[in-house]
Amino acid sequence: MKILVCISQAPDTTSRIAFTDGDKAFDASGVQYIVNPYDEWYALVRAIELKEKHGGSVTTLTVGEAVCDPIIRKALAIGADDAIRINVEPTDPMQVAQLIANEAQGQSYDLILCGKETIDHNGSVVPAMIAEMMDLPFVALATTLEIDDGLAKLTRESAGGEENVEVSLPLVASAAKGMAEQRIPNMRGIMSARSKPLNVVEASSETSTDVDKFTLPPEKGACKMIDADRPEELIRLLREEAKAI
Amino acid sequence: MSVLAIVSIKNGMPTKGGLEAASYAASHAEAQGISAIALVAGDINGDGGLGATGVSHVLQFSEAITDSSQWAKLAAAAAQEHSAIAIVASHDHFGRAIAPRVAVRLQAGLVAGVTELPTHGSVRKNVFSGKAMADVSVSTAVSVYTVTPNAFGIKNDSNEAEVQAFASEIGTARESVTGFDTASADGQVPLPEAELVVSAGRGLKGPENWGIVEDLAKALGATTACSRPVSDIGWRPHHEHVGQTGITIRPNLYVAAGISGAIQHLAGVNQSKTIVVINTDPEAPFFKAADYGIVGDAFEVLPKLTAAAKELMG
Ligand SMILES: Cc1cc2nc3c(=O)[nH]c(=O)nc-3n(C[C@H](O)[C@H](O)[C@H](O)COP(=O)(O)OP(=O)(O)OC[C@H]3O[C@@H](n4cnc5c(N)ncnc54)[C@H](O)[C@@H]3O)c2cc1C
């Protein structure tokens, strides 16, 4: 099994969200970056589990500049064999998908796994774009993934429940919670990650969308406190004041 | 010229996300002085209520489709035949699988998870899991949008849409669906589209105590949710996990009992219209993000709320 896992960096979940450049750019000052949780906890760990079971290799692919190298080393420490970084600043999903598809084309990956979305832009669209560009089948929001004799068996979110679906390889899938459990890299993993190959590729790309402006949501007003002995008062307010029920 | 909504059908009727996509398409088309059409695959009862959202026509492909690449071929063909300037889908399991493929086929810029109609060539979406918003502009002639659940209302006029057969070459399916499980046995509205949500965290102390959470949810007609640790330890199923690394929701009402209000939890729920927090700790951070708060023990407060809700709801 030759598996490609697409990973991106995202600001740590406790980061202060602020903007610069006339609110056109994310203010990265003082921000710690992590591997996007869906990419790490579910896609990467499941890929490593599949490799442990069936043999083969796990390669990670990141579109981003050198600032991404620490999170790529972390993915290698968790257990990926090698990594590719396409040295382009990612700004648009179509651009990122095209760069990944160009790189993956002709490399005969059996499986291309992505996290279901990034926690910064929340697009959730790159995996399906890769599939279309490479003319591959695609399963979105998969919560389980097994490989059995060239056939992938997955569970995915669907209207009001979960669907079981079978697809022959090669395949692109996006991983949601349930597919695997987070792994903490051990000392040996961290040491060996330093010498695993990280290949940097130059490429050019085009974009089709631009962020004009970021805005922070309005502050909440004060919280109205209600006496714990009078919960019926809350129910009344929810109906008459908030008109929520 | 037109705006095309691609709509998923369940049991002969559009899903809620499908109706939201059609409503969005109709409003966007109206602002441009052009018409909106909806595309469905498989059996539909009448116009499925799509006319009421403001679309003038429903294009119906004869068979149900699950394969995203077949759907994308169909949608791209419909978009081209009807000179669509925008294609709209729900930002859920359906739209996330199909809309990006349509965007690639049409070489159209895509904005995912929009929350408002485009104005002056720019459209608003959530970023940083609801901690901020971005206005995004598309530089291609055709745009593709996926609409965040519960962000854009469903229009309900008295119109009927004309249903027309639509055929196109869609290739063969490369996936087969072998089974289906409903997420919640008791017929709750799925969490991403629920308007009322009752959620609980580690303060409930164990899975055996969830009866009081479920009782309140039932009395209100709400869907149950939980914090991440609760689903990680297996007290509740994964699909109930809300927050930055779970599901992002924006219901009318979010009731949180025994949840501290960590930043990652708030990211997933802070766009709820009304937030109620019940916590024994008056210093719990969640109160700062709440509209109504009760400092008290969930084990006492929840049953009392259930009784009051039952009385009110009859
Ligand atoms: C990368 C990352 C991603 C994360 N993503 C998410 C996410 O998506 N969603 C999420 O929820 N969390 C997420 N977390 C975890 C988050 O940081 C918190 O740890 C978590 O939300 C806490 O859950 P909790 O409020 O249920 O538990 P606690 O923080 O343990 O809070 C329990 C609360 O219950 C109250 N309480 C106790 N007894 C009672 C009682 N009898 N009645 C009423 N109140 C009572 C306590 O005062 C306390 O406030 C993430 C963390 C990280 C690091």
Contact B113 A164 (CB under 8 A): no
H or E element, residue B98:
helix B93-106
Which residues of chain B form beta strands (DSSP E)?
2-6, 9-10, 13-14, 35-41, 57-61, 84-90, 109-114, 122-127, 132-138, 143-147, 162-165, 175-182, 196-200, 223-226, 253-257, 274-279, 292-295
| Fold match, B2-165 / B191-313 | yes
pTM above 0.90, yes or no: yes
Q: Is A178 in the pocket of ligand 1 (CB under 6 A)?
A: no
Respond yes or no on whether ipTM tops 0.90: yes
pLDDT in the model for residue B186: 63
**Residues whose CB falls within 8 Å of the CB of residue A80, separated by 6 or more in sequence, listed in order:** A5, A44, A47, A48, A58, A59, A60, A196
**CA–CA dist A40, B35 (Å, integer):** 44
Q: Is B64 on the interface with A (CB under 8 A)?
A: no
| Mean pLDDT, chain A, integer | 96
- pLDDT in the model for residue A160: 81
A4-19, pLDDT tens digit by residue? 999 999 999 999 999 9
Least CA distance to B108: which residue of chain A?
A: A208
Residue extents of the structural domains in chain B: 2-165, 191-313
Name the CATH superfamily, with its identifier, for domain B2-165: HUPs (3.40.50.620)
Distance, in angstroms, between B9 CA and closest chain A CA?
Answer: 9
- Hey, how many other C-beta atoms are within 10 angstroms of the C-beta on A236? 14
- Closest ligand 1 atom to B205 CA: 38
The reported pLDDT for the residue numbered A31 is 95
3-state percent breakdown (helix, strand, coil) of chain A, nearest 5 = 30, 30, 40
Query: Above pLDDT 90, what percent of chain B?
Result: 94
- With an 8 Å Cβ cutoff, are B135 and A14 in contact? no
Return the CATH number of the domain spanning residue range B191-313.
3.40.50.1220
Q: Which pLDDT does position B184 carry in this prediction?
A: 58
Q: Which domains does chain A have, with CATH numbers?
A: 2-215 (3.40.50.620)
How far away, in angstroms, is A241 Cα from ligand 1 center?
Answer: 28
Å from B60 to nearest chain A CA? 20
If you ran DSSP here, which 8-state letter would residue B11 be given? T
Angle CA(B152)–CA(B156)–CA(B162) in degrees, nearest 5? 110
**CB–CB contact A213 B135 (8 Å):** yes
Using the Cβ of B129 and the Cβ atoms of chain A, whether some distance falls under 8 Å is answered with: yes
Q: Give the pLDDT band of residue B183 (cuts 50, 70, 90).
A: low
Token output for B202: 């580690």
What are A31-65's pLDDT values in tens digits? 999 999 999 999 999 999 999 999 999 999 999 99
What pLDDT, on a 0 to 100 scale, did the predictor assign at position B188?
A: 84
Would the CB atoms of B112 and A122 count as touching at under 8 Å? yes
Of A92, A156, A166, the CB nearest to B93: A156
Q: Nearest C-alpha of chain B: how many angstroms from A194?
A: 29
Per residue in B219-234, pLDDT (tens digit) is 999 999 999 999 999 9
